[in-house]
A and B are shown apart, each in its own frame.
Chain A
């Protein structure tokens, strides 16, 4: 087993062996989740603070449930209720939480690098639950887990990530994880949202969706947003859907066993056809389920856990 890290800050700095350690450990935790009693005592007596400086529902709930299943004590701290709005710095807020003897800080923040910054000023374990447009490591790990579970492997697969890549931390974490594990990654979307600089991260970039998904084993869709600040990025949701939306006709041109993923929340009829989202080609809900096991694995390993054997024994 290969894991000596105190924090989980990003996927970029992990080795393939470390990623596989998380995936293997998560497999053992998934089995725990299928038992009648879903709880293990791995983090009993430990305190976890979920420091969500940017709103999130599904990631926070997934972390909370993972922490509960590991028997940790939990504090939820959200930006709306916090003193960050009163001008306290992130460092001071985090130091205060640490002064309450928090063992783990799970942080979601709109500024890239915020978890890295915290890891330097705190003694607690820091887990990145999404930092700006940088990374969302547990999402990429659960995506990799889901792919490996369904396809039996990751090496050699063609994975196409389709949508808003530029602003996506999910895309970046997935690019690192999948390329490290030997998949071929293609990025596709409007040129404004998929700049060529991503090629230097080891991916192929194309703006032709049919070509992008033709040989894909996995089509990973990202949510498209058209808020005010992004109106210079593409003209309208309607045009996006026409050019890049995954519809039945497009899916029919791909490999018969290609599978569709999405980190959620999905926009039915925008980036994904409603029927596809509900079809047996969709892994969307499996991703959610696997998120618990993967986040349990991360917390367990970061706490010094020794891998799947220990869980099986518990």
Chain B
């Protein structure tokens, strides 16, 4: 029997409303015991890990990552993507289907599962496409995708524009109890926008991407969820209006949900004008909230393509609304939208750079800073958004420390101050705006299926 005993930690398991000092015993890849008597049940030769002063919680789930397999392996692979995941404290991820070719059929799902079983260090779940080739024209074989094991469907990176097609996708997916996730973007309103439409797009002469372009589709999805009864999940919410729409819809019981990414509730569009402008304006609030012992503010130039993502960084008002939505439970799920791109792809004119940034390795720290350290959410409520909430949405048997559950466990030091450096990056790509940032809070050990796959300041455990 292979056992591991985590001793002296503060165990936070939101699914069981547990937040107390306890030991956790893992045996043969499952949670065997949680509590003060866990040590008593351990075999004599149990491996012990002292986690006193640290938080022990269910393994974190990121339901929105792009690992670029198949077809775009210069940007990321399942091997490098999952290596980045464990450093961020993640034990499960959901891969988006906008690969090349896209994951719009059972064979493609099988390929990703196969690659994940060979090269993955964490649990890799797959989201299938809503439409064939993510082209937004005809339904993908959603039944076949479900049989192949997808946990959701989405055309992420794209948005189904045809409302009738989206309605039918909702009705059809509901047969299989399969949630739809949607990247909310109205193409006719957004046109060729590359950044939030507002003062900074005006001053920088960049084409604006108005908030209404997101809110329009969020409203559409609410209406369709209400009409069809299907679960519709709005991805990477960025706009204040989206939060208000979802808050009101949830009040009347519409099966709608939403997720937020740390870059949208940390940064604002001012960042595209350069660090000097950002710290002088919207960044001020951030330094006030940071609760860091020292502030060594990073600098970056204007038109830095590491601040270009879709949806774009929005105004300080939108950032505040996203934080409020997270605090009051309107937005239940946190994720990264980890979107790696090669250096040479990003080292071009702002207009021509691909959208997206990496995120797995910093998202927990940024979430802790903006939500927990800024006193907007308790640690347990924050962890719930990375564990039980995504598990519930996707019907995963994950996200808890129930006895008998898979032993996916993350150990977190919420007070750890550190700086994100390129040298520590396991992702294949470096398109991230947070290098050099002073951060607070970090995963220090990641356990997947009972195996320590990563422990800070130690060699990664061979898997």
**A residues within 8 Å of B by Cβ?**
12, 89-91, 109-114, 116-117, 120-121, 131-135, 169, 172, 195, 197-198, 200-201
The yes or no answer to B301 lying at the interface (CB within 8 A) is yes
A176 CB to nearest chain B CB (Å): 9
Q: How far is the CA of A246 from the CA of B171 in the complex (A)?
A: 57
Say yes or no: A114 contacts B301, CB within 8 Å.
no
Say yes or no: A113 contacts B303, CB within 8 Å.
yes
B181 CB to nearest chain A CB (Å): 31
The yes or no answer to B350 lying at the interface (CB within 8 A) is yes
Chain A residues with Cβ below 8 Å from B344 are 89
**Known contacts A90-B348, A91-B347; A113/B202 CB under 8 A:** no
15 contacts between A and B (CB under 8 A): A89-B348, A111-B352, A113-B205, A114-B349, A117-B349, A117-B350, A120-B301, A133-B205, A134-B205, A134-B206, A195-B202, A197-B199, A197-B202, A200-B199, A200-B203
**Known contacts A109-B349, A114-B349, A116-B303; A135/B198 CB under 8 A:** no
B345 CB to nearest chain A CB (Å): 9
Q: Which of B204, B205, B207 has the most CB of A within 10 A?
A: B205
Chain B residues with Cβ below 8 Å from A109 are 349
Q: How far is the CA of A142 from the CA of B347 in the complex (A)?
A: 32
Q: How far is the CA of A135 from the CA of B302 in the complex (A)?
A: 14
Q: How far is the CA of A111 from the CA of B349 in the complex (A)?
A: 6
Chain A residues with Cβ below 8 Å from B301 are 116, 120
Contact with A200, one of B202, B207, B347, B349 (Cβ below 8 angstroms): B202
Say yes or no: A198 contacts B202, CB within 8 Å.
yes
Contact with B303, one of A112, A172, A200 (Cβ below 8 angstroms): A112
The yes or no answer to B320 lying at the interface (CB within 8 A) is no
Chain B residues with Cβ below 8 Å from A134 are 204-206
B318 CB to nearest chain A CB (Å): 15
Mask of B342-371 contacts with A, CB within 8 angstroms, 1/0: 001001111110000000000000000000
Contact with B302, one of A113, A132, A198 (Cβ below 8 angstroms): A113
Contact with A172, one of B199, B203, B302, B351 (Cβ below 8 angstroms): B203
B268 CB to nearest chain A CB (Å): 15
Q: How far is the CA of A85 from the CA of B394 in the complex (A)?
A: 45
A-B interface, 3 closest residue pairs, ranked by CB to CB distance from nearest: A134-B205, A113-B303, A111-B349
With both beta carbons as reference points, the residue of chain A lying nearest to B272 in the complex is identified as A113
With both beta carbons as reference points, the residue of chain A lying nearest to B276 in the complex is identified as A13
Say yes or no: B347 contacts A132, CB within 8 Å.
no
Say yes or no: A201 contacts B203, CB within 8 Å.
yes
Say yes or no: B202 contacts A132, CB within 8 Å.
no
Chain B residues with Cβ below 8 Å from A116 are 301-303
Q: How far is the CA of A308 from the CA of B203 in the complex (A)?
A: 32
With both beta carbons as reference points, the residue of chain B lying nearest to A109 in the complex is identified as B349
Q: Which of B201, B202, B207, B350 has the most CB of A within 10 A?
A: B202
Say yes or no: A113 contacts B349, CB within 8 Å.
yes
With both beta carbons as reference points, the residue of chain A lying nearest to B203 in the complex is identified as A201
B189 CB to nearest chain A CB (Å): 11
Say yes or no: A111 contacts B198, CB within 8 Å.
no
**Known contacts A90-B349, A91-B347; A112/B198 CB under 8 A:** no
Q: How far is the CA of A197 from the CA of B198 in the complex (A)?
A: 6
Q: How far is the CA of A120 from the CA of B305 in the complex (A)?
A: 13
Chain A residues with Cβ below 8 Å from B349 are 90, 109, 111, 113-114, 117
**Known contacts A89-B348, A90-B349, A117-B349; A132/B205 CB under 8 A:** yes
With both beta carbons as reference points, the residue of chain B lying nearest to A91 in the complex is identified as B347
Q: How far is the CA of A198 from the CA of B349 in the complex (A)?
A: 24
B307 CB to nearest chain A CB (Å): 12
| Residues 398 to 436 of chain B near chain A (Cβ within 8 Å) | none
Mask of B198-222 contacts with A, CB within 8 angstroms, 1/0: 1101111111000000000000000
With both beta carbons as reference points, the residue of chain B lying nearest to A200 in the complex is identified as B199
B204 CB to nearest chain A CB (Å): 6
Chain A residues with Cβ below 8 Å from B302 are 113, 116
Chain A residues with Cβ below 8 Å from B348 are 89-91, 117
B201 CB to nearest chain A CB (Å): 8
B193 CB to nearest chain A CB (Å): 12
With both beta carbons as reference points, the residue of chain B lying nearest to A176 in the complex is identified as B203
Q: How far is the CA of A304 from the CA of B348 in the complex (A)?
A: 29
Chain B residues with Cβ below 8 Å from A172 are 203, 205
Chain A residues with Cβ below 8 Å from B303 are 112-113, 116-117
Chain A residues with Cβ below 8 Å from B352 are 111
A136 CB to nearest chain B CB (Å): 10
Mask of B225-266 contacts with A, CB within 8 angstroms, 1/0: 000000000000000000000000000000000000000000
Say yes or no: A112 contacts B202, CB within 8 Å.
no
Chain A residues with Cβ below 8 Å from B350 are 111-113, 117
Say yes or no: A112 contacts B199, CB within 8 Å.
no
Say yes or no: A89 contacts B347, CB within 8 Å.
yes
Q: How far is the CA of A121 from the CA of B301 in the complex (A)?
A: 12
Contact with A169, one of B198, B202, B205, B351 (Cβ below 8 angstroms): B205
With both beta carbons as reference points, the residue of chain A lying nearest to B202 in the complex is identified as A197
Q: How far is the CA of A103 from the CA of B205 in the complex (A)?
A: 27
Q: How far is the CA of A108 from the CA of B199 in the complex (A)?
A: 24
